[in-house]
Amino acid sequence: MLGTRHTGDEVKILKISGYRVQLYAGNNSREAHNYVTTLASKVKELFPDTEVYTFFTPPRWICQAGDFSTIEEAEAMLHQLKSFLLLKDMFIVKEQINVRL
């Protein structure tokens, strides 16, 4: 039988308006792509429970972390990330976030 087998263990995701910490927005070069990939790995290593997103929105590679429903939660993560990564240009962005149901 062909197809996908569905078990009861599927995770359902709801998209809502929320906040993420933007760690980096670079150009469309290979170096920028490599940097966001490395940065995402580092954040996952430091904060394994935090979702990290890397994507290309022309003309930039972007790396964002977290799915926060309040700006206070995002600010707390921003301060933690700044203390561990020592990056100056991180800030909070309003995004559609993923909430697990």
Tell me whether residue 5 is in a domain.
Answer: no
User: pTM for the full model?
Assistant: 0.85
Nearest Cα neighbor of 81 from 97, 60, 65 is 65
Distance (Å, whole) CA 88 – CA 91: 9
pLDDT tens-digit map of 6-65 = 455 677 899 999 999 999 999 989 999 999 999 999 999 999 999 999 999 999 999 999
Judge whether 17 lies within some domain: no
Q: What pLDDT, on the 0 to 100 scale, is given for residue 2?
A: 46
pLDDT score recorded for residue 8: 55
Number of folded domains in the chain?
1
Residue 63 counted as domain residue: yes
Tokens 């964002």, residue located: 64
Domain span at residue 72 reads 25-100
Residue 70 forms part of a structural domain: yes
The pLDDT, as a whole number, for residue 9 is: 65
Q: What is the pLDDT of residue 4?
A: 43
